[in-house]
Amino acid sequence: MTVNDTIQKLAILYADVTGSTHIYEKYGDVIARENIGTCISIIADVVSSLGGELVKTIGDEAMCSFPKPDKAIIAAKEMHEALRDASESGKFSIGELHVKIGWHYGAVKYRGNEIIGEAPVTAQQIIKLAKKDEILTSSKSIDALSEELKQNARFIDSLEAEAWVGQLKVYGIPWEEDKDVTRIGSLTSVEDVTVHKALLLDYTDNQIRLNSEHPHCHIGRHKDNELCVDGKFTSKLHAEIVYRHGVFYLRDNSTNGTAVYFAHGKSIRLHREEEVLSGHGTIYFGGTPLNDPHAGVIFRCVDI
């Protein structure tokens, strides 16, 4: 089959139903196919309404294309909103369904009816990092968005790109505002932060040092965590801190969220989000200084 060498740009978006294996195991093939089919139909309606194309479905995953990146990000948000509304209105017999979304705006070619090239390869690489209800994309895609649509994008990770030589910088884009969550940072925030050699975590009589040799720390109530925090509102597997390229990232994975109080007076609250740690301060995993004062972990970024 010949390849059309004409190169054009498209936004390729993958929407993948999360937990589909569990759905098939719990409810059986007939009910699972029916509910996932309804989910895909909702996604297709969103794509069509924004001038995109449902290219194909691969089991519980939909591959979509949009001529403009702005349409892709609007579609991604509307997919999550439409599935939330469908779940709440009882359209799924199993209760609710969720998807994760990864997309990239870049070059494509055609092999017959198949779309190949940078955009689909990179979108597939990105969606592998996504979790339930997330929208992830690349810095290249962010650069192509209109200003109002790129405002809340947050750096997630940097890894070797599969479609080109160099780094693929992955960003997350929130679609649902939570009144209890304060989102800070900008597209350049990670690039502007000061790199550090180590992060010290102090809790009761324990101190943990994170650096290039020990770059990862899981935090929660469960004894298997590197740092066990016995807070009233702390989840068993509450959060994690990862050291990447001289920067320490705090990622909340909990139900109750994580509060960070910086020594300079600023505070943030994370819920299923990631933020850069800099300077020093105190982290409360699930609670606050008022309702769980003994669950605070002191952190310090140091250069020794």
Q: Which residue has the higher pLDDT, 185 or 19?
A: 19
CATH assignment at residue 245: 2.60.200.20
- Pair (201, 271) in one structural domain: yes
Looking at every residue in the chain, the average pLDDT score rounds to 89
Residues 113 and 62 in one domain: yes
Is the same domain home to 157 and 106?
A: yes
Give tens-digit pLDDT for 100-134.
999 999 999 999 889 999 999 999 999 999 999 99
CATH number at residue 46: 3.30.70.1230
**Is 10 among the domain residues?**
yes
Residue with tokens 């369904």: 97
For residue 179, pLDDT beyond 70: no
Same domain, 156 and 207: no
Same domain flag for 52 and 144? yes
State residue 219's pLDDT score.
96
Task: State residue 19 phi and psi, 5-degree precision.
Answer: 70, 20
Among residues 201, 198, 227, 200, the alpha carbon closest in space to that of 297 is found at 201
Residue 125 is assigned to a structural domain of this protein:
yes
User: End-to-end distance of the chain based on CA atoms, in angstroms?
Assistant: 59
Please report which confidence band the pLDDT of residue 181 belongs to, taking 50, 70 and 90 as the band edges.
very low
Q: Does residue 119 fall inside a structural domain?
A: yes
Is the CB of residue 284 less than 8 Å from the CB of residue 231? Answer: yes
257 touches 181 (CB < 8 A): yes
Question: Does residue 288 share a domain with residue 220?
Answer: yes
Assess whether 157 and 197 both reside in one domain. no
Please tell me whether residue 228 adopts helix, strand or coil conformation.
strand
The answer to the question of residue 182 being in a domain is: no
Residues contacting 265, CB < 8 A, separation 6+? none
Calculate what percentage of the chain has a pLDDT beyond 70: 92
Residue 186 lies in a domain: no
**Considering 176, 199, 216, which residue would you say is the last residue of a domain?**
176
| Domain of 273, in residue numbers | 191-302
From residue 41, give the alpha-carbon distance in Å to each of 6, 36, 62, 83: 31, 9, 10, 10
Q: Is the pLDDT assigned to residue 77 strictly greater than 80?
A: yes
Residues 7 and 136 in one domain: yes
Note the pLDDT tens digit of each residue in 13-25. 999 999 999 999 9
Q: Indicate the number of domains in the chain.
A: 2
Q: 215 and 125 share a domain?
A: no
pLDDT of residue 1: 55
Please report the pLDDT score of residue 147 as a whole number.
Answer: 82
At residue 287, does pLDDT exceed 60? yes
Distance between alpha carbon 40 and the CA centroid of its chain, in Å?
Answer: 21
- Co-location of 78 and 206 in the same domain: no
pLDDT at 3: 61
What is residue 193's predicted lDDT score, i.e. its pLDDT? Answer: 58
Q: pLDDT at position 232, please? A: 87
Listed range (56-60, 160-164, 244-248, 257-261) with the worst mean pLDDT = 244-248
- For residue 53, being part of any structural domain is answered with yes
Residue 303 CB contacts under 8 Å (≥ 6 apart), including other chains? 196, 197, 198
pLDDT at 87: 94
Domain identity same for 147 and 74: yes
How many C-beta atoms surround the C-beta of residue 135 within 10 A? 26
